[in-house]
Amino acid sequence: TATAQPAAAPAAVRRRLDRDDLLMRGGLVLLIGWMLVTLVLPLWALLSKSFRNQNGEFVGLANYQQYFATPSLVDSVWNSLYVSVVTTLIVLPLAFVYAYALQRSRMRFKGLFTALALIPILAPSLLPAISLVYLFGNQGLLKALLFGGSIYGAGGIIVAQVFYCFPHALMILVAALSMADGRLYEAADALGASKLRVFFTVTLPGAKYGVISAGFVIFTLVVTDFGIAKVIGGRFNVLATDIFKQVIGQQNFEMGAVVGFVLLIPAVVAFAANRITERKQVALLSARAVPHEPKPAPLRDGLLFGFCAVVGGLILGVLAMSVWASLVTRWPYNLALTLKNYAFSEFDSSGWSAYWNSLEMAAWTAAIGTVVVFLGAWLLEKTRGFAWGRGVAQFMAMLPMAVPGLVLGLAYIFFFNARGNPLGGLYATMAILVINSVTHFYTVSHLTATTALKQLDGEFEAVSASLKVSLFRTMARVTVPVCLPAVLDVSIYLFVNAMTTVSAVIFLYSTETKPAAVTIVNMDEAGFTAAAAAMAVCIVATSAAVKIVHLMLTRRIERTTQAWRKR
């Protein structure tokens, strides 16, 4: 939103506003330049590579014709769509009932169930796959329950993806179900409507956009995920593993670029459909709305409590299985507990340095990313005029959500490693891992910062100008303190995702910068599954510890700088 300039402002005030506005437009141009170098140009390099042969000669659509003429590669498209659709159909009802229990019931221990449901966010996607191998693999603890079947393949991918995607859908559905006008339920009770009819005529229609949005998010997460399919997919190939095989296994970068763009299509379609759905959403609460307070219902609350206990218990069980596996001497022959699996140098040449690399990468991503994201959102919200620049910047800020991590990482290879690129020195360094992570997770962070900034009235800047206070000083003294909880949310989001990501950096690391999540993949490939589980547990423990510190800081900030929010 543009900050209005007072019509009768003194000349000195107008000059200050014009100077600040010029600086902000320059900052917006720098933001566009950042996104151009870190996102648009790499994607263009990827597209260009898909039309060339190994000698760099332009061959048109020959690579695409070869791709669609290879049955095994085409099958991967349908395999990806299959597991994505099935996972979405399973996760949506589970997450909806769980969110309904948290928002529309009077059951006890809601805080505990919320914490249990969010555990998968703190773990790399490989963790549930590793746990399922120990539970249902060839020597799994519960292999007999499969009645001769195998966990390796589509079934294993779907089960692991359900665990991984559940909290992402839950957060969206909790937000959707929290927006309810109590007057609608009072009217339904007065008219004698049954509980089932109220659910289908009031509750479900009110949350339908959240359900649709959650569905698209789940689909995108599954179709673009690499870690789960790599660990437990077996011979069931999907697009994400095909890219890895073409680039790492066969060194066929041109075909890898083709598969990358094929993978980009469903992700972009899902993203576009989600954006269209969001635009159609209307306000569900008016100024006269009454908060909906669910009434006690012992049978309903008991059933929902049991459902949440089962789901939460299964999530905790998957995590506990990884922890136990990381402590077992030699599965399944010697179940004595030991810490030898945490001696990572015996299983991978990187040893513990991979963990410290991830910690460094996550810290730099959180620090640099928070500054870039918040400044970018602030420039977009506070710059006056400059419509085309703001439109381009807003489009670029939303674009990373539609680009899978594997595709972005592959694009970085072709762009930063290109001959003659002055930025080529960044390739295979910690800097490129940080830049990639900031870009990959930019959109959600941007939306978080923008939401916080929209709560501030534009009059702050006008008043500051009249008092001869620069816009940037106002930002430091007013905007940042008011938005501090959102700033912390952005930083923890970037840290946790950088700590757990594997697909975005699988192509970009060197022997000195290998992250922990990539080490998990390598150790699992080498047959050191217990050590891989141990590294995954280290990542979960670190993410959980940082999250606890974040919650403590947020509470302290709310008691000090956010006291004005309370009446």
| Among candidate residues 460, 490, 457, 455, the one with its CA nearest the CA of residue 473 | 460
Residue 531 and residue 348 in contact, taking contact as beta carbons nearer than 8 Å = yes
pTM, rounded to two decimals? 0.86
Q: Is 270 exposed, middle or buried (0-12, 13-18, 19+ CB in 10 A)?
A: buried
Which residues neighbour 404 within 8 Å (Cβ) at sequence distance 6 or greater? 223, 224, 240, 263, 264, 267, 503
Residue 2: CA atoms inside 13 Å, Cβ hemisphere, count? Answer: 13
Between 542 and 418, residue with greater pLDDT: 542
Whether the pLDDT of residue 211 is over 60: the answer is yes
Q: How far is CA 551 from CA 449, 456, 544, 546, 559, in A?
A: 18, 24, 11, 9, 13
Separation of alpha carbons 525 and 122, rounded Å: 23
pLDDT of residue 265: 87
Amino acid at 189: D
pLDDT of residue 186: 63
pLDDT of residue 134: 93
What is the token pair recorded at 467?
């008092």
Residue 300 and residue 198 in contact, taking contact as beta carbons nearer than 8 Å = no
Residue 486 and residue 524 in contact, taking contact as beta carbons nearer than 8 Å = no
Separation of alpha carbons 139 and 331, rounded Å: 8
With cut-offs at 50, 70 and 90, classify the pLDDT of residue 285.
very low
Report angle CA 295, 298, 302 to the nearest 5 degrees. Answer: 115
Amino acid at 166: F
Scan for tokens 């910062």, then name that residue: 449
Separation of alpha carbons 238 and 225, rounded Å: 9
pLDDT digits 0-9 by tens, 39-86: 999 999 999 999 988 888 888 889 899 988 888 888 999 999 999 999
pLDDT of residue 179: 66
Residue 232 and residue 524 in contact, taking contact as beta carbons nearer than 8 Å = no
Residue 512 and residue 527 in contact, taking contact as beta carbons nearer than 8 Å = no
pLDDT of residue 386: 79
Residue 543 and residue 525 in contact, taking contact as beta carbons nearer than 8 Å = no
pLDDT of residue 8: 43
Cross-strand partners of 328:
337
Phi and psi based region of residue 343 (left: phi greater than 0; alpha: psi -120 to 50; beta: remaining): beta
Q: Which residues in 46-158 belong to E strands, given as ranges?
A: none
pLDDT digits 0-9 by tens, 243-280: 888 888 788 888 888 998 888 888 888 888 777 776 66
pLDDT of residue 238: 92
pLDDT of residue 4: 46
Residue 199 — φ and ψ, nearest 5°?
Answer: -65, -45
Mean pLDDT is lowest, of 167-171, 363-367, 550-554, for: 550-554
Residue 561: CA atoms inside 13 Å, Cβ hemisphere, count? Answer: 15
pLDDT digits 0-9 by tens, 449-480: 887 787 665 555 556 656 666 667 777 777 78
For residues 286-306, give the mean pLDDT: 74
pLDDT of residue 79: 94
Which residues neighbour 9 within 8 Å (Cβ) at sequence distance 6 or greater? 17, 465, 466
Q: How far is CA 217 from CA 59, 90, 170, 499, in A?
A: 35, 14, 11, 21
Q: Report the b/e string of 409-422 with b at 16+ CB within 10 A.
A: bbbbbbbbbbeeee
Whether the pLDDT of residue 11 is over 80: the answer is no
What is the token pair recorded at 403?
């680009």
Determine how many CB atoms are found less than 10 A away from the CB of residue 187: 13
3-state secondary structure of 43: helix
3-state secondary structure of 493: helix
Q: Is 566 exposed, middle or buried (0-12, 13-18, 19+ CB in 10 A)?
A: exposed
Give the DSSP letter string of 134-164: HHHSTT-TTGGGGTT--STTHHHHHHHHHHH
| Among candidate residues 126, 152, 148, the one with its CA nearest the CA of residue 137 | 152
Whether the pLDDT of residue 558 is over 80: the answer is no
pLDDT of residue 475: 75
pLDDT digits 0-9 by tens, 352-403: 999 999 999 999 999 999 999 999 988 888 777 778 888 888 888 888 888 8
Mean pLDDT score of the chain = 85
First and final CA of the chain: distance in angstroms? 28
pLDDT of residue 104: 83
Radius of gyration of the chain (CA): 25
3-state secondary structure of 420: coil
